[in-house]
């Protein structure tokens, strides 16, 4: 397989994104509406500041059910430590990242800005086309 094939060639660019100020129950609705398991969280300047996953949301729902307190902003529940990859990385290097990791997708950055997302399925598509 050619290392010349880049992440940018296979990443998704039409993303559902959330802002840190989004109300958490609205964010849960957004994930369900779009049938996605996670969404990047981007500030007003377009910087990636976190990712909100189904796991983060389940934790909120359980906590709210236990304490009978619903609500809050995405910034209170999102994962702030986010592993990312670069748009110019090779698809082979990206595939290696998925091997042995529990992540199903990585936000893709270019010059520090969110430009897409690469999933395991995107990598499989690339591998299939390169055989």
**Residue 7 CB burial class (10 angstroms; 0-12, 13-18, ≥19):** buried
User: Domains in the chain and their CATH numbers?
Assistant: 7-129 (3.10.580.10)
How large is the average pLDDT for residues 69-93? 89
pLDDT tens for each residue of 92-118: 899 898 887 888 889 999 988 899 999
List, in sequence order, every beta strand (DSSP E) within 2-100: 38-42, 48-53, 85-86
For residue 43, give both structure tokens.
């500030």
Q: In this predicted structure, what is the pLDDT of residue 64?
A: 63
pLDDT at 26: 92
Residue given tokens 């995107």 in the structure block: 122
pLDDT for 129 equals 80
Does residue 3 surpass a pLDDT of 60? Answer: no
SS3 at position 98: helix
Prediction pTM value: 0.83
pLDDT score recorded for residue 9: 94
């Amino acid at each position: 397989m050619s290392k010349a094939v880049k992440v940018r060639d296979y990443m998704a660019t039409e993303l559902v994104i959330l802002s840190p100020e989004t109300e958490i129950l609205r964010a849960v609705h957004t994930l369900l509406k779009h049938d996605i398991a996670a969404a990047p969280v981007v500030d007003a300047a377009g910087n990636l500041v976190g990712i909100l996953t189904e796991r983060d949301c389940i934790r909120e729902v359980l906590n709210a059910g236990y304490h009978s307190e619903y609500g809050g902003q995405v910034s209170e529940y999102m994962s702030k430590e986010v592993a990312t990859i670069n748009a110019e990385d090779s698809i082979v290097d990206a595939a290696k990242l998925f091997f042995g990791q529990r992540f199903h997708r990585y936000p893709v950055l270019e010059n520090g800005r969110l430009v897409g997302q690469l999933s395991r399925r995107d990598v499989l598509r690339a591998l299939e086309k390169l055989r």
